[in-house]
Amino acid sequence: MNIITSPISGLVVIEPRIFHDNRGYFYELYNEVKAKENKITYRFIQDNVSRSHQNVIRGLHYQLAPFAQTKLVSVLEGKIFDVAVDIRKDSPTFGHWYGLELSYDNHLQLLIPCGFAHGFSVLSKEAVVNYKCDNAYHSEAERGIIYNDPSLDIDWHINPKDAIISSKDKLFPGFDKAEINFCYGKSE
């Protein structure tokens, strides 16, 4: 696996090694031993899969500490624009976002540690997304930030008029009103 650093501390892109032959290809979606060799030491305990239609935006989601989740996001079918927003107080990149295209074709993964809000938009007709999580879902700790907050100015790579948003996601507060309890440099 190849580890690609992002402009935001803690966020990394993982590029798996693909083995092609006349039958197709093979790659490891996750290998704990190789992850540890690359200083990725999270213990993933839950896998989530979502299927979404084109122009859906999911997010921006997170769970408050101590129920926060580190996520390893990959696409099993289709193409998404994946986004992580730094919500760690005192971080030099607090309020900054990073996004990249994840797809079935490029096999890239985004490792999103605790202290980030996460969301994605669907760029293909449909997309199936896999999230490996290091903590279980706790509904009482679930929080979010409105996807179209002007202070974040996220380019979701779809026409805003075509965006399909859940009624729950439409009710999230703006970034400046979001409840967060993460501090930069401290373990959540």
- Mind listing the pLDDT tens digit of every residue in the chain (188 residues)? 899 999 999 999 999 999 999 999 899 889 899 999 999 999 999 999 999 999 999 999 999 999 999 999 999 999 999 999 999 999 999 999 999 999 999 999 999 999 999 999 999 999 999 999 999 999 999 999 999 999 999 999 999 999 999 999 999 999 999 999 987 875 54
Which one of 42, 61, 98, 107 is the catalytic residue? 61
Catalytic choice (42, 62, 131, 147): 131
- Residue pair 63/141 in contact (Cβ under 8 Å)? The answer is yes
Cα-Cα-Cα-Cα dihedral sign, residues 40, 32, 112, 161: positive
Query: In the annotation, is 157 catalytic?
Result: no
Active site residue 131: yes
Reported pTM:
0.93
**Domains along the chain?**
2-183 (2.60.120.10)
Which residues contact residue 20 at a Cβ distance below 8 angstroms, ignoring those fewer than 6 apart? none
The alpha carbon dihedral of 96, 102, 108, 112 has a sign of positive
